[in-house]
């Protein structure tokens, strides 16, 4: 994140050559009144760039953008799965499956209950949401928060998660199919 020309924070994407000279530079703008930041970025199978961001806006908390290698936006989508607006929703990681579907994993933290849980959004290759669901651990009396994401084989996703019972925090792996 950098300060934009008007003094508001913007996300700056810079592409470099191997010798570290700049190929191009783009400001990624969501809206003039929304501050945001990049959570994850991957190179897609078709050589486009997928950028996952989170924003401070109540109705646009998660943003997914597909750009070409020059930083030109091909499409941009926003997602909101909130039950109420007191929740802090954050996209954390994304991956692209062999069938070109995109999987976003994130966390939901309630300021009211201090509890944490996770969610998964599955989209088609154009970012259109196919499925959204909350995820939880089989462990009883444990809050769960995703902290990483890896694609295994073609459609199996393995998440690193943090489990907490209030005083102890352990890291675990969760299979998501």
| Calpha distance 29→11 (Å, rounded) | 7
Q: How many residues does the chain have?
A: 177
pLDDT in tens, 141-172: 667 777 777 776 666 777 777 777 667 777 77
User: What is the maximum span of the chain, computed from C-alpha positions, in angstroms?
Assistant: 52
CB distance 169 to 145 below 8 Å = no
Residue tagged 């019972």 (tokens): 165
pTM of the model: 0.76
Report residues of the chain scoring pLDDT below 70.
1-11, 28-36, 56-60, 82-88, 109-116, 136-142, 152-155, 165-166
> Can you give the pLDDT at residue 135?
77
């Amino acid at each position: 994140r950098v300060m934009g020309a008007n003094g508001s924070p913007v996300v700056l994407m810079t592409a470099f050559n191997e010798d570290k000279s700049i190929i191009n530079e783009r400001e990624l703008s969501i809206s003039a009144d929304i501050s945001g930041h990049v959570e994850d970025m991957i190179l897609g199978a078709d050589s486009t760039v997928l950028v996952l961001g989170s924003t401070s806006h109540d109705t646009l908390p998660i943003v997914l953008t597909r750009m070409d290698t020059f930083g030109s936006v091909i499409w941009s989508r926003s997602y909101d799965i909130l039950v109420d607006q007191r929740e802090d929703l954050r996209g954390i990681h994304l991956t692209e499956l062999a069938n070109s579907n995109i999987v976003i994993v994130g966390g939901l933290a309630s300021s009211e209950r201090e509890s944490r849980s996770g969610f998964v959004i599955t989209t088609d290759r154009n970012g259109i949401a196919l499925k959204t669901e909350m995820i939880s651990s089989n462990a009883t009396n444990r809050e769960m928060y995703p902290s990483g994401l890896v694609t295994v084989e073609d459609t199996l996703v393995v998440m690193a998660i943090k489990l907490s019972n209030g005083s102890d925090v352990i890291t675990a792996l969760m299979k998501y199919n």
